[in-house]
Amino acid sequence: MSKGKFGHLTLKVIDTGLNSAAWNIAMDQALLEYAHKYGPFFRFLSFSPECTLVGYFQSVSQEIRKDYCHREGIEINRRITGGGAIYFDPSQLGWEIIGTIKDFPYTMGELSEIFGTAVAYALRLMGVNAEFRRRNDIEVNGRKISGMGGVTLSQNFLFQGTLLVRDRIERMLKSLKVPIEKLKPKEIDSVRERVTCLEYELENIPDREELKNLLMTGIKEYLGVRLEMSGIPEEVMERHRELLPYFESKKWIYKIDYPEKEQDLLNGYYRTDEGTVKISMTVNIRKRVLRNTLITGDFFLNPPESIFRLESMLKNMRFDKEEVERIVKEFFRHNQLDGLSPWHILKATSEVFKKWKLIELGFTPEEANNIFMVNLEDLGDFEPRVFLLPYCSKDTSCDLRYRDECIMCGICTIGDAYSLSYANGLKPITIVSFEHLMETFERLKKEGITDYIGSCCEPFYVKHQEEFFESGLRGILVNIENTTCYELDKAKEAYAGRFESQTNLNLPLIKKVLGLLTRIGSNKGVIK
């Protein structure tokens, strides 16, 4: 579309100020219904108190951390537009264009590009290097600064976006169920690499009135429209008063509310020479739909924003391994990345689909994320003979803490694991250092033992994933359930067998794994 094409139109500018989530959503609906009679409109809006908004087709339980929002006084509501869940704080400036197809004779996809390009143009007038990115984002150097979405009603349409002004990333992550688990500083910083705001892009942040004027100037120049300040027609206000109780109601907010367990996060890791790749996929369990993908890690990548485009391709699709692999391979056919190859991504996604197999066998998503399958695709011929246990789960006062022995005194979880091992025909072995683990692998291979069960923390598994794979042995590792040496920054001490704090084994999950092996008969008589 050429610049200035809409010179015949006058947009009526409305600023409804700061209002509650329900108030703003009800106004969206009222303006949409009367766009053909009183529009087209250009509306500014903000939210107070802060709120989370799910898209029209989303489930609140699957997208919002409800307990956190209720505790923090963050409102929860539902938009009349589709798309993903978003967080609004009072600093953000929302903008909307409401009109008719007669005014703007384009599809919603085309309107997204038209209006997104116009707002990006307005941001460039402010000195922000913004560009529209298909389908519905405005970016600054590959980082999202505005998301957009729209809805139609007969011949009327509403198209909206939000401009991020100040850094509220941590608050957003705690409010929304984005693909982040424990909200550690590194995970929060990883999201900051994907999102920006005016606070980071400008030395001096314009106030709300300045922002409005700058956006109006950009919209006016790019679209070629005339702007006319306006109030809200009384008929629209009357309709708003009628609609407000409904948009405040649980019937509206929770109109779609699948059980939380039907959609969850599945993680996969692959460690490379360049760093560790972590794939986090949000999956609707009941519908087997991949809703979202986040690719993180400690690798270096050039250009860095390229990975965000791959993420945008791996969402809202059937959760199917072959289809995911096809998309990844297709992406790398057209994008050469310095730092990552399709092999790295495919190995990590393969780990995600192993978690899915565990879910199909009866594990919850949380349980599946705490099980690591080494050189193992299925359990049909898996025959464990030993149970490898970490010395760090022994009591710190135990004389046998750094020895491959246990008297099963009942003081720590290691004793319980030894009892479970004997009861299931397994030989328990306490691993007292990384070198001891490598020596044990070599000894097992010499003895003709190919399969094992073990327990270690997730950071240890990720750091030494290559050694686990290269051992050639097949294993099931169960994550330790509490603080590890890596979280305490004592990995070197643990590596050498000198970690002095105590961890605990996840005994319930270990029992469930052993029960599964018994149930499917994969041990052929080894586990009783």
| Domain final position from 209, 237, 253 | 253
Structure tokens at 291: 């809703």
Question: In the numeric block, which tokens belong to residue 305?
Answer: 């924003």
CATH of the domain at 480: 3.40.50
Q: How far is CA 250 from CA 21, 58, 155, 235, 246, in A?
A: 13, 14, 29, 26, 8
Is the predicted pLDDT of residue 453 greater than 80, yes or no? yes
Note whether 83 and 129 are same-domain residues: yes
Give the 3-state secondary structure of 462-504.
Answer: HHCHHHHHHCCCEEEEEECCCCCCCCCCCHHHHHCCCCCCCCC
pLDDT of residue 274: 66
**pLDDT(486) > 70:** no
What's the whole-number average pLDDT of the chain?
Answer: 87
From the number of C-beta atoms within 10 Å of its C-beta (0-12, 13-18, 19+), residue 15 rates as: middle
| Side chain identity, residue 14 | I
Q: Which domain holds residue 69?
A: 10-253
- Model pLDDT for residues 66-87, shown as the tens digit of each residue: 999 999 999 999 999 887 789 9
Contact 264, 285 (CB under 8 A): yes
pLDDT tens readout for residues 258-283? 665 556 889 999 987 767 888 989 99
From CA 176, how far away is CA 130, in angstroms rounded? 25
103 and 242 co-located in one domain? yes
Buried b (16+ CB within 10 A) or exposed e, 122-152: bbeebebebbbbeebbbbbebbbbbbbbbbe
Residue 365 resides in a domain: no
Among residues 359, 384, 407, which one ends one of the domains? 359
pLDDT of residue 271: 85
CA angle 374, 319, 479 (to 5 degrees): 30
> What is the number of structural domains in the chain?
3
Does 330 lie in the same domain as 381?
no
- Mean pLDDT along residues 194-206: 90
Any idea what the CATH number is for the domain that residue 352 is in?
3.30.390.50
62 shares a domain with 188:
yes
Q: Is the pLDDT of residue 1 over 80?
A: no
How far is it, in rounded angstroms, from Cα 131 to Cα 138?
A: 6
* 314/455 same-domain check: no
Q: Do residues 344 and 247 both lie within one domain?
A: no
Say if residue 495's pLDDT is above 80.
no
pLDDT, one tens digit per residue, over 497-513 is 554 567 889 999 999 99
pLDDT at 66: 92
Q: Which of 253, 268, 289 is the last residue of a domain?
A: 253
Q: Identify the H or E element spanning 30.
A: helix 21-33
Residue 338 DSSP label: B
488 — pLDDT class (breaks 50, 70, 90)? very low
Tokens encoding 348? 């990590």
* The 3-state secondary structure of 310-330, one letter per residue: HHHHCCCEECCHHHHHHHHHH
Task: Give me the mean pLDDT over the 42-61 stretch.
Answer: 91
pLDDT given at position 377: 86
Classified as helix, coil or strand, 407 is coil
Same domain, 377 and 345: no
Taking 60 as the threshold, does the pLDDT of residue 2 lie above it?
no
**CA–CA dist 137, 44 (Å, integer):** 18
Position 527 scores a pLDDT of 43
pLDDT of residue 381: 86
Mean of pLDDT values over 238-249: 98
Residue 119 near residue 219, CB atoms below 8 Å: yes
Q: Are residues 247 and 288 in the same domain?
A: no
Residues 223 and 295 both lie in one domain: no
Same domain, 351 and 417: no
